[in-house]
Amino acid sequence: MALEPANARLDGRVVVVTGAALGIGRAVAEGCARFGADLALCDRDGPALAEAARAVETAGRRVATAVLDVRDAAAVGDFAGEVASVFGRADVLVNNAGGGFQSDFLAVSAKGQEALVHENFSSVTHCVRAFVPLVPEAGGSIVNVTSVEAHRAGPGFAVYSAMKAAVASLTKSLALELAGRRIRVNCVAPDMIPTPGTGPLGEGRTPIPRPGRPDDVAGVVVFLASELSSFVTGTTLHVDGGTLAAGGWRRAPGGGYEV
């Protein structure tokens, strides 16, 4: 098959995005809509979710929404049922919802740890189990939004980092288990991307000398959702301006790098 510009399009596909109200999730929703997809969006923030839905409609695409907490398996199942009723299918699942808080590991209570596990790992497993049955026989794509912290130490974010690493590991296993169903499973690992919950990012820290943008992540998600990535599965694409490659090195104000 010759490579065509049309291979980047998502026409006729239904894309499910969790945590879609703001930041990276909203950028992914709007980006997929511009590339021709219909959207199913969920988030806990009802008013912001409604704004995201209006943006999808402005792009000329259909949209279904649900205000829910992805840590609730029953609520996720109900949302999948609604998507099946409205669209009859789900071609792409983007597990974007997640979050954390900064704290030394020894100060994290059992309840706090449980919240981090459910928000960053169990939410992904709930959604995969709920939506894979809606993927047509022709196949589809699952994109798990993790973090650069899945691939390096996360002091002050130890449990969060461990759960993001768990999602990256799960992604590899699911890529093999679901390959027979023609479902590709990949990760996107952002860093230095402004989105709710990230806090101050600082300036001049990335080798690429400009701030990161939510659309930088959305572009990679569109690639992984489209036929351009039809032979890509079980891998992680880093959208971090080069921070993982740089390790402890940072771009120096006068040029070059410093530790």
> 153: domain range?
5-258
Enumerate the active-site residues.
160
Is the predicted pLDDT of residue 203 greater than 70, yes or no? no
Give Cβ neighbours of residue 47 (< 8 Å, ≥ 6 apart): none
Could you tell me if 206 and 251 are in contact, meaning their C-beta atoms sit under 8 angstroms apart? yes
223 vs 252, higher pLDDT: 223
Asked whether 200 and 186 are in contact (CB, 8 A), the reply is: no
Given a cut of 60, is residue 199 above it in pLDDT?
A: no
| Under 8 Å between Cβ of 150 and 164 | yes
C-beta atoms surrounding 99 within 10 Å: 15
Q: Outline where the chain has alpha helix (H).
A: 23-34, 46-58, 73-87, 110-117, 123-131, 158-177, 214-225, 243-246
Tokens 């690639």 belong to which residue? 223
Coil, helix or strand at residue 202? coil
Average pLDDT (27-43) is 98
CA-nearest of 184, 203, 182 to 192 is 203
Residues in the chain: 259
**Residue 40 tokens, joined:** 């199913």
Query: What's the confidence (pLDDT) of residue 1?
Result: 66
Cα distance between residue 43 and residue 157, in whole Å: 23
pLDDT for 162 beyond 80: yes
Q: CATH no. for residue 137?
A: 3.40.50.720
Least confident interval from 46-60, 69-83, 191-205: 191-205
Instruction: For residue 203, give the DSSP letter.
Output: S
- Region 156-178: what's the mean pLDDT? 97
Percent of the chain scored above 90 by pLDDT?
Answer: 87
> What is the total count of domains within the chain?
1
Q: Rounded distance, CA 39 to CA 62, Å?
A: 6
Q: Which of 99, 143, 91 is nearest to 121 (CA)?
A: 99
Spatial contact of 207 and 243, defined as CB atoms under 8 Å apart: yes
Give 247's pLDDT tier (boundaries 50, 70, 90). confident
Which residues sit opposite 40 in a β-bridge? 16, 64
pLDDT, tens digit, 9 for 90 and up, residues 62-86: 999 999 999 999 999 999 999 999 9
Query: Do β-strands 250-251 and 257-258 pair in parallel, antiparallel, or remain unpaired?
Result: antiparallel
